[in-house]
Structures are given as structure tokens and as C-alpha cells.
């Protein structure tokens, strides 16, 4: 998911609209906004892309200079309308809205506890648990937010809005990104910095793991809500999820991906190939890095139809199957008769690689050497990225030779976990989906792992 906030910005809804639009790659299932004019919180949300949910007339109805917004990609909770964020509660103590990116692993335990105390939930998302917890705590909103953050385990970067303030919170492991920047007379907050750059903002600050930032009375105040922090930025943000023009923890995503390509090229000394091609869009940076490091020319061997959403995000296998074919076509004149190095960013079920190898061979490629710009995924993610269930993960059941045969590649190579860590050695990465080394207890999800 992606979150965006605007504090003390005139027409906060329109800037939030642009922000969400820039974060659209983080979720296409639903989009929503909660806007406050100092008195009341107005909400607008629905299924689909930001452009479809917010037509011009709808935006105009959302007046105020405070806003938080969300684009949804469902991992926890289903696709029901109740789960579309921001989640808003209008109580006698005032209104609150929450927009959340990540996944809370002790959600079920907290939900049960809240239900036993009489809480009634509308939907099944963990974000609603968050909202209930905040409401139940005592003290100022800052104190409530801090107490809540201390009770949550897992991945979260979330925003809380009330009538006159916004709070931004990041989990103590720093699993999901979250940054803010001064803009005009106020501030903007975003999951990724690419949203700032479209606004002409080139200077921003990352929240630290275990930090709450308060935007209130025109001021920004930072609070470290726990000292018990680690650094586990999700490696998949760099590999696949984030936009190449974003800077995550000081590292540009495109630069990170280029380095992974170079690592792959160094492992391939002596490989005879005519061209390097990337699978658009998320593998293009790695393909550039591979080509630069190997000296093998980069080509456009695959064309992507940009009007089909990210295949993986469509929830059923049947839809995914249809999606992939709609999405990519080989450029026959480029690949015919050639020995091709095909770079993809990740291998999850192996379906994309297998299909693309076939496409390229059908288009006349002499050989297809598949190079994956990450290690093979062997474990499910419980922190907000849909890396699928263990049964579906090809890397959980097959070794490298078996995968190579399955995807019908002439050769297969991917990164080692240590090589991945070296690419961003200045920061700490979460690599749990590659090695099962989760940085938090998993609570009820432990059972999923043991299955």
C-alpha cells in the first residue's frame, strides 16, 4: 500500500490526489482520502485507481488543509469495501482517520482482546484494529498514538488525522518506508519520495524506526517511542515494489537495481550472449546494470502494454494468467536468432519467467539465459508484500536445477542473500522471504510457516 498526507496545505485534497497518483504502483485495488477543514473529517473512497475514484467534482467536495490518503494492495484482510482506507471513526470524543501501509502480525491477538472489551469491527483489515487501539488508549492523541505503536508488532508506516493534527508513525524495525518534507506553508508525508519530486520537492526526511512525528500547531515534533529498534528495511521495496526514482533510506531505487544487475554480470564471466533484455518495468534498471558491467548490449526485447495493471496484484491465478499474456509481447526483430540474457527482478511462482522464456523462444531466440536480480523467494512475507503462500513459492520446493528446467531456461542464475545485503551494506535489510529470518515474532502466522 501507499500513504500520503498533507498538513496545512491549501486544498489538501488536490495535493493528496497528486501524491496518491504518484504512489499508484503501490496498490491499485482501492484509493481513498480523508480531509479535514478544521471542524469535520470528510471521506471519499472506492475501489479502483485514484483517477477513477476521484473525479473532479468529488475532489472539490473535499475541502480543508489537512488530508491523509491511501492506495490499497490487499495482503491482510479481503477486498471488501469496509477495508478500503482511510478508516474513519466519528465519535463523541472527536473524529479520527487512519491510513496504514504494512501488516501487523499480532493483529489477531489484539482484535480478540478488543472484541472481548466490547469493540465491534466493520471489516477484516488490521488498520481497523489500529484505529480501535488508538481510541481506547487514554491521554492526548500523541500519547494514544505512542501507546498504540508500542503494542503493535510487525510492519507499519501509518498516518493518523484528527481535526487539527497529523501523526506519522514508523515501526521499530523500519520495515516500510515513510518520509516527510516541508512544502509551501506546511508539510507533506509520503510512503515514497517520488511523490515529492513530482511536486518539485527535492529535500525530505525519513522517519526513523520507532519514531512518531507530530504535525500540530504549524510545528513538527519528533518522538522516539521506543529505544528497542533494529534496521530491517524491506529488500523487496528496492527489488520490486518502489519506483526507481524514489530514494529509500538514502539509496536511490534505480541505483540499487543497477548494482544487482552488475552483481549478476560478474557471476557470468565467459557467458556468450548477444543481447541483454529486461522485463519491463521493474527489471529495466537491473538490465542496464548488467549490460554496463558485462559489455553485452542492452536491447528492448519485450514490450509492455502499459494499460494492464501489475499482474501479480490481481488476486486469482486465472486473472494472473490472463494478465501476463495481455501485458508482454516479444519484439521479434530484436530477439530472433539471438542468444538472450533475460533479467527479471524476482522469482515467486516461476510463472512469469516460464512464460517469457517461451515467448522469446517462440519469437526465435536461440537461447534464453534467465538472470534474477534477487535471491529466490523461499518464505512467505508477513509484513505487507504478497510474496504468496509457501505452497505456491517455487523456491520453497525446487532447487536451482529444477527451477531452471521448470522455466525452460538455457541457464538460470540468481543472487545470493549475502550479495543482496552487500548491495545496500550501509543500511540493514529485511531478507526474511529469502532466508526465513524474520525480525519479529510471528504470532498466529507461525502456523502458516510450519504448514
Residues tagged active-site: 1
Q: How far is the CB of 357 from Mg ion (least distance, A)?
A: 14
Question: Are residues 242 and 1 in contact, defined by beta-carbon separation less than 8 angstroms?
Answer: no
Check residue 387 for interaction with ligand 5GP (CB under 6 A): yes
Report the C-alpha gap between 218 and 31 in whole angstroms. Answer: 27
Residues 392-451 that bind ligand SF4 (CB under 6 A): 430-433
Q: Which is nearer to ligand 5GP, 107 or 237 (CB)?
A: 237
Q: Which of the choices ligand SF4, Mg ion, ligand 5GP, none does residue 290 contact, using the CB cut-off of 5 to 8 A by kind?
A: none
Q: Phi/psi of residue 166, each to 5°?
A: -130, 140
Q: Which of the choices Mg ion, ligand SF4, ligand 5GP, none does residue 178 contact, using the CB cut-off of 5 to 8 A by kind?
A: none
Query: Got the DSSP string for 332-347?
Result: HHHHTT-EEEEEES--
Question: Are residues 238 and 248 in contact, defined by beta-carbon separation less than 8 angstroms?
Answer: yes
Q: How far is the CB of 240 from ligand SF4 (least distance, A)?
A: 9
Q: Is the dihedral of CA 91, 152, 86, 36 positive or negative?
A: positive
Check residue 235 for interaction with ligand SF4 (CB under 6 A): yes
Residue among 381, 394, 403, 412 that touches ligand SF4 (CB under 6 A): 381
Report the C-alpha gap between 317 and 119 in whole angstroms. Answer: 36
Question: Are residues 236 and 385 in contact, defined by beta-carbon separation less than 8 angstroms?
Answer: yes
Per-residue cell: 295: 559489455
Residues 141-180 that bind ligand SF4 (CB under 6 A): 175
Largest CA distance in the chain: 71
Q: Which stretch binds ligand 5GP (CB under 6 A): 44-52, 138-146, 345-353, 417-425?
A: 345-353
Check residue 75 for interaction with ligand SF4 (CB under 6 A): no
Residue among 95, 165, 191, 352 that touches ligand 5GP (CB under 6 A): 352
Question: Are residues 287 and 277 in contact, defined by beta-carbon separation less than 8 angstroms?
Answer: yes
Q: What is the DSSP letter of 311?
A: G
Site residues, Mg ion (CB under 5 A): 279, 282
Site residues, ligand SF4 (CB under 6 A): 175, 234-236, 381, 383, 385, 387, 430-433
Site residues, ligand 5GP (CB under 6 A): 236, 240, 279, 282, 310, 312, 344-353, 385-387
Amino acid at each position: 500500500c501507499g500513504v500520503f498526507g498533507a498538513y496545512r496545505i491549501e486544498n489538501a485534497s488536490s495535493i493528496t490526489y497528486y501524491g496518491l497518483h504518484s504512489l499508484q504502483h503501490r496498490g491499485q485495488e482501492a484509493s481513498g482520502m480523508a480531509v479535514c477543514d478544521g471542524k469535520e473529517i470528510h471521506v471519499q473512497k472506492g475501489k479502483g485507481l485514484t483517477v477513477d475514484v476521484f473525479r473532479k467534482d468529488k475532489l472539490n467536495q473535499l475541502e480543508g488543509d489537512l488530508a491523509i490518503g491511501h492506495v490499497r494492495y490487499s495482503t491482510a484482510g479481503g477486498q471488501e469495501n469496509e477495508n478500503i482506507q482511510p478508516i474513519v471513526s466519528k465519535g463523541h470524543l472527536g473524529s479520527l482517520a487512519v491510513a496504514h501501509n504494512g501488516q501487523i502480525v499480532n493483529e489477531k491477538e489484539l482484535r480478540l482482546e478488543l472484541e472481548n472489551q466490547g469493540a465491534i469491527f466493520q471489516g477484516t483489515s488490521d488498520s481497523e484494529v489500529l484505529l480501535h487501539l488508538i481510541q481506547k488508549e487514554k491521554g492526548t492523541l500523541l500519547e494514544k498514538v505512542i501507546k498504540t505503536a508500542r503494542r503493535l508488532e510487525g510492519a507499519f508506516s501509518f498516518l493518523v488525522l484528527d481535526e487539527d493534527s497529523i501523526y506519522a508513525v514508523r515501526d521499530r524495525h523500519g520495515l516500510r518506508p515513510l518520509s516527510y518534507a516541508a512544502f509551501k506553508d506546511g508539510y507533506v508525508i509520503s510512503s515514497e519520495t517520488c511523490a515529492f519530486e513530482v511536486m518539485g520537492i527535492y529535500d525530505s526526511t525519513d522517519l526513523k524506526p520507532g519514531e512518531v512525528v507530530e504535525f500540530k500547531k504549524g510545528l513538527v515534533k519528533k518522538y522516539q517511542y521506543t529505544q528497542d529498534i533494529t534496521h530491517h528495511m524491506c529488500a523487496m521495496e528496492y527489488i520490486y515494489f518502489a519506483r526507481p526514482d524514489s530514494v529509500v533510506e538514502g539509496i536511490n531505487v534505480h541505483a540499487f537495481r543497477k548494482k544487482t544487475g552488475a552483481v549478476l554480470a560478474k557471476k557470468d564471466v565467459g557467458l556468450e550472449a548477444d543481447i541483454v533484455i529486461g522485463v519491463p518495468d521493474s527489471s529495466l534498471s537491473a538490465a542496464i546494470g548488467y549490460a554496463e558491467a558485462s559489455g553485452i548490449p542492452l536491447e528492448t526485447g519485450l514490450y509492455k502494454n502499459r494499460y494492464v495493471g501489475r499482474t501479480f496484484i490481481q488476486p486469482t491465478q486465472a486473472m494472473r494468467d490472463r494478465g501476463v499474456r495481455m501485458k508482454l509481447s516479444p519484439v521479434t526483430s530484436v530477439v530472433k536468432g539471438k542468444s538472450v540474457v533475460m533479467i527479471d527482478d524476482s522469482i515467486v511462482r516461476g510463472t512469469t519467467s516460464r512464460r517469457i522464456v517461451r515467448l522469446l523462444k517462440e519469437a526465435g531466440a536461440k537461447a534464453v539465459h534467465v538472470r534474477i536480480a534477487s535471491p529466490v523467494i523461499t518464505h512467505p512475507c508477513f509484513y505487507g508484500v504478497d510474496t504468496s503462500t509457501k505452497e505456491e513459492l517455487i523456491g520453497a520446493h525446487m532447487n536451482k536445477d529444477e527451477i531452471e528446467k521448470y522455466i525452460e531456461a538455457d541457464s538460470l542464475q540468481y543472487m545470493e542473500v549475502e550479495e543482496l545485503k552487500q548491495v545496500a551494506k550501509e543500511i540493514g535489510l529485511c531478507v526474511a522471504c529469502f532466508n526465513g529470518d524474520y525480525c519479529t515474532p510471528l504470532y498466529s502466522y507461525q502456523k502458516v510457516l510450519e504448514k
